[in-house]
Amino acid sequence: MSVRVCVLGSGSKGNCTLLATETTRLLVDAGLSCKETCARLEAIGEPADGLQAVVISHEHNDHTGGVRVLAQRSNLTIHISRLTYAAVNWDDAPKDGAVNGAADDTRRRKRELKFEHFTVGEKFAIGDIAVSPFSIPHDAADPVAFTFEAQGVRIGMVTDLGFIPEIVKQRLKGCHCLIFESNHDLEMLKMGPYPWEVKQRIMGRQGHLSNLATAGFLVEDFDGAAEVLVLAHLSETNNHPEIARLSAAQALEQRAGAARTRLYLASQTAPTEVFWF
């Protein structure tokens, strides 16, 4: 067992996942502050020193808020599509306030960052990990999900999408580990405190997946291959962990061949356990 995965945090306040082999360690998104990311890595025995890269799914702050400081601190290469790169405000103050100074200092720090631009639909490699980005429907410049392959292990990460197009169903076949959005309970969202226009955005085709949509995928399109299924990006306002868990568990019971799949929930406040493959 030499491939390991841990969701360090997932939700509207920050998203970050560790993916590691014996020779390569990378993060997917960096929406937590640098300080918090490092603390959570230390908590699972994976210090930030030695990380090689961070891969960015889209520009929203809960996926990029800590990337600049983290990349500078750990000398990471930021892998990002050109459209997403253009949509990030690299001059914004970092989430944890660790960097400040005059405008010329901000420009200098931006120049010091290391970028590699990927093209959606084209596989690339970070060390011994193959990364395959593919488009998903979300209200961002160039939103993507990923599959990762290393040492015969296939990992899928799909969050921040308003519906599940055919490409997602096809790309996730054969995954040993699947991290998949289950953002909101429809009734909680409808009755909740958000303004109606925000509710419409979340429920729209470029918003987020409901528990019901995720359950539908698990019943109709999930191939049952995953040993680990992690429900991610749960709303703290419009969902409840046990509602999401029950919805997915009932769907898995209906899906022939999914008996081997173990169900977990990612949290906004703490890492999941480290999954080994």
* 267 in Cβ contact with 10 (< 8 Å): yes
User: What does the pLDDT average to over 128-136?
Assistant: 98
Q: What is the mean pLDDT of the chain?
A: 93
**15 pLDDT more than 80:** yes
- Would you state the pLDDT for residue 91? 79
- Would you state the pLDDT for residue 265? 98
- Would you state the pLDDT for residue 110? 58
Q: What pTM does this model have?
A: 0.93
* 267 in Cβ contact with 40 (< 8 Å): no
- Would you state the pLDDT for residue 256? 77
**181 pLDDT more than 80:** yes
- Would you state the pLDDT for residue 246? 98
CATH numbers and ranges of domains, the chain? 4-276 (3.60.15.10)
* 89 in Cβ contact with 65 (< 8 Å): no
Percent of the chain with pLDDT over 90: 88
CA 40, 41, 47, 52 torsion: positive or negative? Answer: negative
Residue type, 138: H
- Would you state the pLDDT for residue 257? 77
**216 pLDDT more than 80:** yes
- Would you state the pLDDT for residue 102? 46
- Would you state the pLDDT for residue 203? 98
**87 pLDDT more than 90:** yes
pLDDT tens digits along 184-199:
999 999 999 999 999 9
**139 pLDDT more than 80:** yes
The residues, any chain, with a CB within 8 Å of residue 124's CB and separated by 6 or more, are 79, 116, 118, 130, 131
CA 19 to chain centre: 11
User: What does the pLDDT average to over 235-256?
Assistant: 96
What is the rounded distance in angstroms from the CA atom of residue 2 to the CA atom of residue 218?
27
User: What does the pLDDT average to over 238-262?
Assistant: 93
- Would you state the pLDDT for residue 92? 60
Tell me which residue has tokens 């580990």.
177
What is the rounded distance in angstroms from the CA atom of residue 263 to the CA atom of residue 215?
13
- The phi-psi region of residue 64 (left if phi > 0; otherwise alpha if psi is between -120 and 50; otherwise beta) is alpha
- Any idea what DSSP says for residue 176? S
User: What does the pLDDT average to over 159-180?
Assistant: 98
**71 pLDDT more than 50:** yes
